[in-house]
């Protein structure tokens, strides 16, 4: 296991192809595109605070003829602009280490999730030799999640450098 493989990790979630998902902090689509391919009959909301990565994602979607993704420029520490109880899955991959109010982001994920919906959190291991200086631990996210009445679905090693956590509403 070396670096992150979104397809491999998404396969572990046993996703039905008609689900609705949101990728908070989607960047240029590293997770969005594999997710959109998996949810052929569903919908993926790709949300990022920056316009440039969203623009790059739109170009890649056009190139790969992916039509089930809707992009949105939003600050998820404020609001994702999504309707409450509208998503089956929210991705927070390589996101929480770089935002100030982790609890607010997870609260926003909870707000948009349907009952029994899941949040997939993947982030940098504290001891990883690569990656950003700022890190967040699975323990910190579990503590916040439990305060918000999430069940911890599963904890796993996402890559040599990343940990993964599935939170269930």
Distance CA 69, CA 148 (A): 28
- Residue 24 resides in a domain: yes
Host H or E run for residue 151: strand 151-157
- Biggest CA–CA distance in the chain, Å, is 42
Reported as a single tens digit per residue, the pLDDT across 24-45 is: 999 999 999 999 999 999 999 9
- Residue 48 resides in a domain: yes
Reported as a single tens digit per residue, the pLDDT across 109-133 is: 999 999 999 999 999 999 999 889 9
CATH number, residue 49: 3.40.50.150
- Least Cα distance to 120 among 27, 41, 23, 40 occurs for 23
Distance CA 22, CA 163 (A): 20
Reported as a single tens digit per residue, the pLDDT across 9-27 is: 999 898 999 999 999 999 9
The first and second tokens of residue 12, run together, are: 């572990």
pLDDT at 160 exceeding the cut of 60: yes
pLDDT at 156 exceeding the cut of 60: yes
- Residue 125 resides in a domain: yes
- Residue 85 resides in a domain: yes
Please, are residues 163 and 125 in contact by the beta-carbon 8 Å criterion? yes
CB neighbours of residue 140 within 10 Å? 14
Number of domains, the chain: 1
Reported as a single tens digit per residue, the pLDDT across 47-81 is: 999 999 999 999 999 999 999 999 999 999 999 99
pLDDT value for 2:
72
Please, are residues 128 and 160 in contact by the beta-carbon 8 Å criterion? yes
- Least Cα distance to 104 among 31, 39, 44, 24 occurs for 24
> pLDDT: is 50 or 2 the higher one?
50
Mean pLDDT of all residues in the chain?
96
- Residue 1 resides in a domain: no
Reported as a single tens digit per residue, the pLDDT across 86-115 is: 999 999 999 999 999 999 999 999 999 999
- Residue 131 resides in a domain: yes
- Residue 113 resides in a domain: yes
pLDDT value for 12:
86
| Triad 61, 65, 67: Cα angle to 5° | 75
Structural domain boundaries enclosing 22:
6-168
pLDDT value for 71:
97
- Residue 121 resides in a domain: yes
Please, are residues 107 and 80 in contact by the beta-carbon 8 Å criterion? no
């Amino acid at each position: 296991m070396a670096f992150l493989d979104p397809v491999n990790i998404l396969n572990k979630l046993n996703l039905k192809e008609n689900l609705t998902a949101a990728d908070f902090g989607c960047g240029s689509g590293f997770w969005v595109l594999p997710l959109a391919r998996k949810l052929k009959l569903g919908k993926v909301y790709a949300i990022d605070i920056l316009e440039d990565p969203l623009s790059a994602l739109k170009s890649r979607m056009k190139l790969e003829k992916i039509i089930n993704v809707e992009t949105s420029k939003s600050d998820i520490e404020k609001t994702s602009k999504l309707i409450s109880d509208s998503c089956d899955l929210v991705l927070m991959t390589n996101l929480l280490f770089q935002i100030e109010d982790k609890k607010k982001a997870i609260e926003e994920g909870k707000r948009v999730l349907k009952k029994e919906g899941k949040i997939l959190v993947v982030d940098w291991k504290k001891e990883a030799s690569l990656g950003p200086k700022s890190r967040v631990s699975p323990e910190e996210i579990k503590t916040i999640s439990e305060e918000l009445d999430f069940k911890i679905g599963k904890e796993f090693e996402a890559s040599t450098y990343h940990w993964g956590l599935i939170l269930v509403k």
